[in-house]
Amino acid sequence: MTSETLTVDRRELRGYTPEYRLRGRSGLGRTLPTTIVDTVPHVLMLAPEPFFEPRGTPFSEYHRIKALGELGYQIDLVTYPIGQSVDLPNLCIHRCVKPPFVNRVAVGPSFLKILLDLSLAVTAIRLARSGRYVAIHSHEEAGLLGVWLARRLGIPHLYDMHSSLPQQLANFSYSRSRLIRWFFDWSERAIIDGSRVVITICRELHDTAVAAGAGDRSILIENVMGGDVDISGTVIPVREQWGIPVSASVVLYTGTFEAYQGLNILYGAAARLRRTHPNVRFLIVGGEVAQVAEARANAERESLPVVFVGRRPPYEIPSFVAAADILVSPRVAGTNTPLKIYSYLRSGRPIVATDLRTHTQVLEPSVAVLVPPEVGALAEAIGHLSQEPEERKRLAAEAMALSVRKYGRASYVERTREAYVRLLGPRALISRNLAEPGKATVL
């Protein structure tokens, strides 16, 4: 099979402003080095989030796209008009129209997301008319649109299930309306029923999908790459930049400031340790500007040993981890495993986490300190570890071994390949000659 060229036709793309990220040269209306359409399966992917933005689902989407690109698939991603462009092989980003005055999208359900999802649907339908796609791959609530489009086109649909839609209502306290709850329940069932393959990212979601009727159509692919992204950056002097003494024991939290993350018990633990372990400092990475300002004001009023640095670009996170002595995940609700847990496992730092299903479906007592979601228990665990360097080393080594044993990237890519074999059958790519980009072997 020889490598040939594909010329992008402007007429196919009228009405969009896609960002081409194909292997080789890029641009509209230019000849791009790739294989002919018949040998490169094109997948229409729907992602109702800001892409890219350093938070849970966009991280998951990033790594799914990267793996599919490596396997030889061409991804046309339809996403929100907000987010950072990323450079990945075989990825073409199509952003939907931005409503006036919209510059950010909060995590969780919202009226704004409904407006953006409608805009996303218009763009997706326009692209789908080209008839070039072998499948539709949908994330989160876009699965409802994806199932409908796939049926209209007569192609299979894959649902990338990052969370349970009904559970989102509880996690974000969005609404207590029985009608809205019913709609979310119905939507999830309809998406699962209409999908040939359902990817789930943790054991709890896998069980939920199976119970909802997915059966052996559900495949578990943990987000083993966590918050890792291929964006280069320089090492930053974290302690020096934020005034943290070299002698201090640093406890690091990274993530959003949503209520289910359990930051209140983390602040409570900081208040206790201020008196019993004055050498401990808490470093908080993440949060929206207004959330950080409010939390900082409260911490200053109570003289808590907490440093807030706000949201940082992904390439800086390794510097914060390197500056830390203990990594913490104090979640109090939810069942999905936080993406950061997989990065924490291979970080070389010990983990303290709440003893809830959200953590225990990955973490074991031998690799992390698991405590009840209570201020006293969290403070005691952090205080103890801060004074036990050998125990910290042991936990970190056990965590690293677990990561290598169960949560490696090779397994992630292989499971992604398996999902697409189930999705496409004889049209699935089963191998790729990485030495010669553009060449692929099909069944």
Give the per-residue pLDDT at 11.
Answer: 33
203's CB contacts (< 8 A; 6+ apart) are 220, 361
pLDDT per position as a tens digit, 99-126 = 888 888 877 667 888 999 999 999 999 9
Task: List the chain residues with pLDDT less than 50.
Answer: 1-38, 432-443
Question: What CA–CA distance (Å, rounded) separates 43 from 259?
Answer: 36
Q: Which residue has the tokens 């991804």?
A: 75
Give the per-residue pLDDT at 34.
Answer: 35
Quickly name the fold that domain 5-224+408-442 has. Rossmann fold (3.40.50)
Give the per-residue pLDDT at 341.
Answer: 95
- Burial class of residue 129 (count of CB atoms within 10 Å of its CB; 0-12, 13-18, 19+): exposed
Question: What CA–CA distance (Å, rounded) separates 123 from 47?
Answer: 12
Contact 160, 192 (CB under 8 A): no
CATH number of 238-406: 3.40.50.2000
Domain segments of the chain: what residues?
5-224+408-442, 238-406
Question: What CA–CA distance (Å, rounded) separates 154 from 151?
Answer: 5
Distances (CA, A) of 190 to 68, 211, 212: 25, 13, 10
Give the per-residue pLDDT at 230.
Answer: 58
